[in-house]
Amino acid sequence: MYNIQTLNKISSVGTDVFDKSKYAVADNFENPDAIMVRSAKMHDMKFGDNLLAIARAGAGVNNIPVERCAEEGICVFNTPGANANAVKELAICALLLSSRKITEAAAWAASLKGTPDAPKTVESGKSKFAGPEIMGKTLGIIGLGAIGGKIANSAVALGMKVVGYDPYLSVNSALLLDSSVKIVTDINDIYKVSDYISIHVPYTPDTKNTIDTEQIAMMKDGVRLINLARGELINSEAVVKAIADGKIAKYVTDFADDVVLGAENVIVLPHLGASTPESEDNCAVMAANELIDYIENGNIRNSVNLPNASMNAVGTKVCVIHKNVPALIASMTSAVGNAGLNIENMFNASKKNFAYTMMDIIGDVDEKLTDSIKAIDGVIRVRVIK
């Protein structure tokens, strides 16, 4: 029986994926085999020896100590694309919110309750809430993955011109883009031509303050910014100053901080990007299936700290997490040969400093063999799946 710990409320549609004859799901296991999490902060957590994997029911993993997990042989998954439609819909809403002064108009209209001749007041005062249409305007998108690509195509359907930047654009993502989307290789081109800019990249030390004072200076006067990805991607102080200076017309963000809260021409949403029942269900199901495939088969899909890996086996599958260093694979295969066993099939791949090797071994894989593999310098974890 494998114990799956939930650190947040996870949709029952996802937890029901686990076969109850093999898995127990609860929020109070002391040393679980796997963890499902949404937003709970895990950087100060100590992980038990049993912990094989952590699955984030969402895309961002900044609440998880990803590098430390790799060093401890813990595979970290996320669920890219599972919440893409929900975020796309909010981004389209944000485009309109940034243009049409909808929230301000609604608040003003609500304030007229109980006043005489409210209908006449509404008609005479509506002109101060006028704003431009998005049709025919240029939307610049930074990041054209599962979410950015959907936004690009939807914006095209709404009559916008779309310019996109993504140095890591995959072939599959590119093929899904509308042919009218213009891809640029210099991110500065986004800033120079866009009437609206929406950012959709993961937060890392390298992407912190992707948009700052220098980038804002390149933008068109009256530009409107949207940030539904991570608050740290855009410098709040620089944006608020640029609004005061008349450079930025509007900023819509899904991330609150003391700088943007209450600031003029800033609309702050309470992290609503993936807050739909459909998105939560999709993320939970995807996370559960990732854990099951890894626990039962050793296969890896959508890991952020280990490479994707999949292999069928006719014998016993030995899965090894190890450092990405020379000669280590040769040492492992030698250990198998010294045990008098044959490797029928083998898979190896790496991601940055870490690697994952799967060996399909014919014969009796005993503790002596696994101990010899564990003793190899650079080996982090060895699992045997029969």
Q: Are residues 241 and 352 in the same domain?
A: no
Backbone angles phi, psi at 304, to 5 degrees: -100, -10
Domain count, the chain: 3
Nearest to 363 by CA among 347, 339, 329: 339
Q: Which of 268, 296, 317 is the last residue of a domain?
A: 268
Q: Are residues 111 and 251 in the same domain?
A: yes
Q: Are residues 144 and 157 in the same domain?
A: yes
Q: Are residues 123 and 18 in the same domain?
A: no
Q: Are residues 227 and 321 in the same domain?
A: no
Report the distance separating Cα 30 and Cα 44, nearest Å: 15
Distances (CA, A) of 78 to 57, 156, 159: 6, 29, 33
Nearest to 191 by CA among 160, 159, 161, 223: 223
pLDDT in tens, 370-380: 999 999 999 99
Q: Are residues 159 and 130 in the same domain?
A: yes
Q: Are residues 251 and 365 in the same domain?
A: no
Q: Are residues 222 and 204 in the same domain?
A: yes
Whichever domain contains 338, its CATH number is 3.30.70.260
Q: Are residues 238 and 194 in the same domain?
A: yes
The whole domain housing 372 covers: 307-386
Report the distance separating Cα 290 and Cα 78, nearest Å: 9
pLDDT in tens, 331-364: 999 999 999 999 999 999 999 999 999 999 999 9
Positions of E strands within 106-174:
138-142, 161-165
Arithmetic mean of pLDDT, 69-73 = 98
Sequence-separated (6 or more) residues with CB below 8 Å from residue 156: 162, 178, 180, 181
Q: Are residues 91 and 73 in the same domain?
A: no
| DSSP-derived 3-state class of residue 112 | coil
**The pLDDT of residue 202:** 87
Q: Which of 205, 239, 268 is the last residue of a domain?
A: 268
Q: Residue 157: which pLDDT band, with cuts at 50, 70 and 90?
A: very high
pLDDT in tens, 49-68: 999 999 999 888 989 999 99
Whichever domain contains 287, its CATH number is 3.40.50.720
Tracing tokens 């093999």 back to the chain, one arrives at: 22
The pTM of this model reads: 0.82
Average pLDDT score, the chain: 96
Number of H helices, E strands in the chain: 13, 16
Arithmetic mean of pLDDT, 71-79 = 97
The pair of three-digit structure tokens given for residue 191, joined into one six-digit string: 């800033």
pLDDT in tens, 99-156: 999 999 999 999 999 999 898 998 888 999 999 999 999 999 999 999 999 999 999 9
Q: Are residues 250 and 336 in the same domain?
A: no
pLDDT in tens, 242-289: 999 999 999 999 999 999 999 999 999 999 998 899 999 999 999 999
Sequence-separated (6 or more) residues with CB below 8 Å from residue 252: 94, 97, 98, 224, 225, 226, 227, 266, 267, 269
Report the distance separating Cα 20 and Cα 113, nearest Å: 55
Q: Are residues 101 and 54 in the same domain?
A: no
Q: Which of 288, 305, 322 is the last residue of a domain?
A: 305
Nearest to 369 by CA among 31, 63, 233, 379: 379
Q: Residue 310: which pLDDT band, with cuts at 50, 70 and 90?
A: very high
**The pLDDT of residue 307:** 98
The number of beta carbons lying within 10 Å of the beta carbon of residue 113 is 7
The number of beta carbons lying within 10 Å of the beta carbon of residue 385 is 15
